[in-house]
Structure 1
Amino acid sequence: MKAVEKCILGAVMLCCLLQTAQAIKCWDCRSDSDPKCGDPFDNSTLAITDCQQAPELEHLKGVRPTMCRKIRQKVHGEWRYFRSCAYMGEPGIEGDERYCLMRTGSYNIFMEYCTCNSKDGCNGAGVPHLGLFSVLGGTLFAVLVAQLLRQ
């Protein structure tokens, strides 16, 4: 493969990666004002929010949301759920979205923070899992790109 073709292939792959990292859509609701926001989650009456359109936060100048967040909070025995775009943090724990950060406090307070960026609406009801076809497709794509780069 010629150097020009390698550069074009690399640029196309970079654009694909940047597109998925920059434009995520998340559910945005609170269970204290909308009971459908809780678990089980019912998004039938909610519109998904484009995080690129989310306002800049006054205390985080220049920081844009790149992930989705779901917060589950228990205060004095009552569960509350918050779903929104996330401005800071990392997906899951050490990049694994199957795990959430949990905190407990005094006065019977429990909080669970789940962040994700694997797909639009990933802060919905379930924890995202990769299917067998997704893993096989990604592996096949990687092998194909490696073969093209070796030529």
Structure 2
Amino acid sequence: MLSTWQLGGSCLLLILLVNIHNGSALRCWTCTSDTNPDCNDPFEETSPGPIACIPPRTQPDKMPGLYPVCTKARIHVNELESVVIRQCEWVSDSYPNICENHPGLPQHSHMEFCESCRGDGCNGVGLPTASTWTITAASIILTLLVML
């Protein structure tokens, strides 16, 4: 027969193992509101969901100091139109803020808003991530174990 501590510890270990990312790539929402209205705010999550960030062809895989971030930007294109862009960007330790002087902005446009983040799907609506659920579940189990 398992003791309460053994059962609780087993449950905690199982929760942690289920939520471990085995070296998988960062996954970001990738869309633009000019071609997909669901990409605009308020954001409507659609399939296929966040996609894995793949290094650009011009840069070798696992380039030192290069890492992916998810971005969400609102670009004012002309007097009447703003476009929301959600995508994966690659940044380096020497240039960590992709939102400053963002490359690839269309001519005669300006950035209204930009943010970057490093969690799976973080450039969507901000739902809790797997790690948030892991911490919550672990806290509940530990609290229950202490109470017993």
Deviations 1:21-58 (A, max 9, x none): 753221111111101101111113x3123425x3x313
Change in Cα spacing, 1:79 to 1:33, as seen in structure 2 (3 Å) is: same
Q: Is residue 70–residue 81 contact of structure 1 (8 Å, CA) maintained in 2? A: yes
Change in Cα spacing, 1:124 to 1:49, as seen in structure 2 (3 Å) is: closer
Q: Residue in 2 aligned with 1:122?
A: 122
Instruction: Give me the whole-angstrom Cα distance separating, in 1, the residues matched to 2:29 and 2:118.
Output: 12
TM-score norm. by structure 2 comes to: 0.51
Q: Is residue 30–residue 87 contact of structure 2 (8 Å, CA) maintained in 1? A: yes
Give the length in aligned residue pairs.
111
Q: Which runs of 4+ in 1 moved over 6 A?
A: none
Give unpaired runs (5+ residues) of structure 1.
1-15, 95-99, 142-151
Instruction: Give me the whole-angstrom Cα distance separating, in 1, the residues matched to 2:23 and 2:117.
Output: 11
Q: Residue in 1 aligned with 2:52?
A: 51
Alignment of 1:30-109 (within 5 A): 30-44=32-46, 46-51=47-52, 54=54, 56-62=55-61, 63=63, 66-77=68-79, 78-88=81-91, 101=99, 107=108, 109=110
Tell me if 1:27 matches 2:29: yes
Shift of 1:67: 2.3
Change in Cα spacing, 1:58 to 1:122, as seen in structure 2 (3 Å) is: same
Q: Secondary structure at the match of 2:113?
A: strand
> Could you tell me the percent identity over the aligned residues?
25
Q: Residue in 2 aligned with 1:7?
A: none
Decide which structure has the larger Cα Rg and report it: 2
Q: CA RMSD in A?
A: 4.3
Instruction: Give me the whole-angstrom Cα distance separating, in 2, the residues matched to 1:40 and 1:125.
Output: 8
Change in Cα spacing, 1:76 to 1:60, as seen in structure 2 (3 Å) is: same
Give unpaired runs (5+ residues) of structure 2.
1-19, 143-148
Deviations 1:109-143 (A, max 9, x none): 2343311113x211013498xx8x959x68xx9xx
Q: Secondary structure at the match of 1:57?
A: coil
Q: Is residue 21–residue 66 contact of structure 1 (8 Å, CA) maintained in 2? A: no
Q: Secondary structure at the match of 1:88?
A: strand
Higher relative contact order (CA 8 A, sep 6+): 2
TM-score norm. by structure 1 comes to: 0.51
